[in-house]
Structure 1
């Protein structure tokens, strides 16, 4: 997800230079390679350990991350639009239209059945609520963004269908995410902050408002092209222009909410930095904040603000540096067998039986509980 997010971010910079697109394409290719490699590894895991797929989908922590797989697919489709369409013919535009609707059909099933399993099989306390609870519906948070990007090359007829679909899908994603965020906010008020190694995961809460702001603005900017001027029988003004104005205002409204969640997470991480260590939660630095930056890029372009564009460029540099830093720590952690290793997952027991199970007490090196 994070690598794909960097690729999409680099492909939409307000200020460019020779070679920037090439760097974006490198991240895109790397994203595809990593996606295929990780998919092969997780497939081997499920085949090698019979029944582990079912256990994974029913796990009180791991099951939420099933949605991240589909977010990664959405980002690949997003990058195909950014980097592939300018170099290919109309056939790719039609292919992307088909992929959009096929993807939407699949993630509807994921959102329904994944949450059904969670509601039916697990009783999760609100005191343990985390932004990761949003992940099963996260694909819908990027569907509106994906639709807004595809509309740049889609013809008016299919484009209007994608426009309506994007609004519908984004509505589901934002509403469910908002409900989950209320549980997370309740946890922050009534309980302690997440454990220090898990705090980078607090950035996941940035995504719903950030990507919905992104969707509002990108769909609004494309509305005059794809929305009929007399939609709903309105003839006094072009309806597409109304959508454009509303999309920008709504996007600005939501963007600052995402910034607030990002600031809360940042402060929480900084004050506990000395006690922290690397976990896979550190990838949370990248993807949600990339969405917030892309939304700000859209705002900067709509307002034609050089100052905001400069902030976006600076934020992009910081995110790329964070990606490099987290990637180095991740590789180092794997080599040292501290992450992605049986019994070493930082937030849960391994579904093959390594480590301790939730509710079980652990003993330290002296045999004390």
Structure 2
């Protein structure tokens, strides 16, 4: 009897699904239920895929600057750089194609969803990782030198402008088109703040680690980067306060979005790393001393400035550690509840934690601390493991047709469901 009832239910569900597909196919005005692989790839391609570039670029920088080096580590860093560059080019072409082919509908789909809108900040952040890696790796190679230094310099000013434009566009769109009174804002709202903080740390990296950057070129980048890190810190603190209040009022995010709690680490870790890198650029790399104008842009002022940067960076990194512990606890709690499962949102773990790892590495340099060196290496190993885990799950989901290329179009289903409700 139970088997007969089960078969009846299954047959009923199957008949309903077949009727649903038939109705959709007969509705000429509705989008098709099935589509080609190319159309599926382009039409559904979202900015979240640029997190792969961000993560690869961050790991490339970490392995290149690791406090403990071995012969193959430089090769691993270069592999991450090439991987980052290749993905960025491919993903950018696909993302641009989405707006070229689908035009206003693609734009409406992006701006109507808060998560998709705020994730657009991932595109300039991904470009910023290339802005760091290109001069650091290529300008210091025997075949690169000053040409790639200038290329990195131009890329930095371009990415700084791009990040600010995206920041204004995202927040203005949120203010004009979205109401936050009756809904929970996504944790990704903090990404524009991470973007401008990334501009700052990238500026410090470009002027410090590129081949033969003159003080005349370096000082404007350092000054603007300090302004950028101020934006990153203040926006990050304000938005973190709002998100933390949401945690207190409503609990952790949904199980599928639990990993996104790591995003709160980003503004703190990146701002701390930016201050450390800029302070070192001003004093240790002699940019202020070489410029030597006024009362601020001098070697004497650089000594005080670097000390202040280290102190503020310690405060910010401490808050970043708190956020990371809370995020790890949230993941463990979901796992114990058997609600934890892999989603593309797990990519949110790597870049924020990489920013904190970068600050730990710079603390090791500033304090000549073996403890910070060991912490840095342990975090790099953990992040490499998470990156490979995400890569394995992503490939598996893509092969199964559940990710990136999903031929069944959700738009057709949604449109038919709305019409059936109207009837």
Tell me the TM-score normalised to structure 2 length: 0.78
SS in 2 for 1:272: helix
- Residue among 239, 258, 268 paired with 1:180: 239
Separation (CA, whole Å) in 2 of partners of 1:239 and 1:92: 30
Unaligned runs of 5+ in 1: 345-349, 362-369
Paired residue for 2:150? 94
Query: 1:98-113, aligned counterparts within 5 Å?
Result: 98-113=154-169
Paired residue for 1:213? 272
More displaced 10-residue stretch of structure 1: 311-320 or 97-106: 97-106
Paired residue for 2:341? 277
State the Cα distance separating 1:61 from its structure 2 match.
Answer: 2.1
Paired residue for 1:19? 72
Query: 1:1-369, aligned counterparts within 5 Å?
Result: 1-59=54-112, 60-87=114-141, 88-125=144-181, 128-152=184-208, 153=210, 154-224=213-283, 225-228=286-289, 232-233=294-295, 238-273=300-335, 274-342=338-406, 353=411
2:265/2:324 contact within 8 Å kept: yes
1:6/1:320 contact within 8 Å kept: yes
SS in 2 for 1:86: coil
Q: 4+ residue runs of structure 1 moved beyond 6 angstroms?
A: 234-237
Cα offsets for 1:56-87 (capped at 9, x unmatched): 44122211111100100000111112211101
Cα offsets for 1:127-149 (capped at 9, x unmatched): 51332001234320101100110
Aligned residues: 353
More displaced 10-residue stretch of structure 1: 32-41 or 200-209: 32-41
State the Cα distance separating 1:40 from its structure 2 match.
Answer: 2.5
Separation (CA, whole Å) in 1 of partners of 2:93 and 2:101: 12
Cα offsets for 1:29-49 (capped at 9, x unmatched): 011111122222223333343
Unaligned runs of 5+ in 2: 1-53, 419-423
**Distance of aligned partners of 1:283 and 1:234 in 2 relative to their CA distance in 1, 3 Å threshold:** closer
**Distance of aligned partners of 1:90 and 1:333 in 2 relative to their CA distance in 1, 3 Å threshold:** same
Separation (CA, whole Å) in 2 of partners of 1:230 and 1:82: 26
Separation (CA, whole Å) in 1 of partners of 2:152 and 2:77: 20
Over alpha carbons, which structure has the higher Rg? 2
2:357/2:376 contact within 8 Å kept: yes
Separation (CA, whole Å) in 2 of partners of 1:259 and 1:100: 28
